[in-house]
Amino acid sequence: MCSRTNLVGALAFIAAAAAAPALPAWLVSLATIAFANGLVVLGLVVLWRAGLVPFGQALFYAIGAYAVALLSRYAGWEDVFLLVAIGAAAAGIVAFLVGFLLARYRDIFFAMLSLAMSMILYGVLVKTQTLGSTDGFHVEAASFLGYAPHGQALNLMLFWLVLAVSAIAALLISLYFRTVAGALAVPVRDNEIRLEFLGISVNRLIHLKLVIAGVLAGLGGALAALAVAHVDPNMAYWTTSGGFVFVTILAGAGSVAAAFVGSFVFELVRSIAVDLVPGLWQLILGSVLLLTILFLPEGLGSVFHRLRRSPEKAS
């Protein structure tokens, strides 16, 4: 079963990569942002399985994005692979440091503390002139190991990059879910006392999850900064974090692919809604979430599970 899932994932990946040049430019851009944000959502899925919902994941998203923007602006670095790796690493290091505090909290206290931390960064970004203040700043065009495309060619290259990073992250996280640390997520949510009395440090397990989610959010932020070619403090604002939580609920914690499909559906619905009824797009998004919660309480991902389970029952 798991090899079949991987096969379906690989086919979807190749199909998306191959179809990109034939797709309209707006759809490629939309998918690029959607998958970059999907990486952040994947990190939230890792935490959500353990019963943790951070309302401040934009902290790591913004760190990834600003790392890319600052290095390209002040150091003149252009290589996307290097920039994205540093963005992810920077977010991972911050996640490791704040993790010592965050891993000790649960439920609403965890959510609010993470929100508070992201708002501290927001405050710093808004007040600091060298960091671009409220306007943020432009991210210089990027190069891929020396190759520096422009226009639609750049957009396509960025799409392929985001797609490849997403595919690798999806594979690694699906492997992680089968490890002891990953598979003990539901036990963490269910009963910490039993885990402690099996000799497990729950805080350390959660700390690891925080770092993983932080790295993924940093990756997403770094790629988003390249895709939009701009960063601003709103990337650290709590509504950005709220958006990620929204998509996580829409996607569900059931599967790795759901994070990306959910993120894509979210961006698609939003852009269509903004296009059709500019004043009411929030209403439409809200209704979509409401309908999802009512009819697919385990998120969009549960559709795949249902499809996958039915042939198994027959065989």
Quick note: the x/- pattern for other proteins over 196-235, rule CB under 8 A, is xxxxxx---x--x---------------------------
Q: How far is CA 194 from CA 1, 178, 191, 315, in A?
A: 31, 20, 6, 37
Q: Does 74 help bind other proteins (rule: CB under 8 A)? A: no
Q: Is residue 254 within the footprint of other proteins (CB under 8 A)?
A: no
Buried b (16+ CB within 10 A) or exposed e, 103-121: bebbeeebbebbbebbbeb
Q: Does 107 bind other proteins (CB under 8 A)?
A: no
168 binds other proteins (CB under 8 A): no
Nearer to other proteins, 22 or 193 (CB): 193
Spatial separation of the C-alpha atoms in residues 84 and 150, rounded to whole Å: 19
Of the residues 14, 15, 183, 290, which one makes contact with other proteins according to CB under 8 A: 183
Q: Evaluate whether 87 touches 221 at the Cβ level (below 8 Å).
A: yes
Which tokens in the block code for residue 223?
């790629």
**Piece of the chain touching other proteins by CB under 8 A; list 82-90, 133-141, 173-181, 265-273:** 173-181
The distance of closest approach from Cβ of residue 143 to other proteins in the complex, given in angstroms and rounded to an integer, is 35
Q: Are 121 and 249 in contact (CB under 8 A)?
A: no
Q: Largest alpha-carbon pair distance within the chain?
A: 64
Among 3, 130, 179, 315, binds other proteins (CB under 8 A): 179
The nearer residue to other proteins, 129 or 179, going by C-beta atoms, is 179
Is there binding between residue 193 and other proteins (CB under 8 A)? yes
Q: How far is Cα of residue 156 from the mean position of the Cα atoms in its chain?
A: 20
Is residue 297 involved in binding other proteins (CB under 8 A)?
A: no
For 145, the 3-state DSSP assignment is: coil
| Listed residue (263, 241, 238) closest to 250, CA to CA | 263
Examine residue 243 and tell whether it contacts other proteins (CB under 8 A): no
Binding site for other proteins (CB under 8 A): 176, 178-184, 186-187, 189-191, 193-201, 205, 208
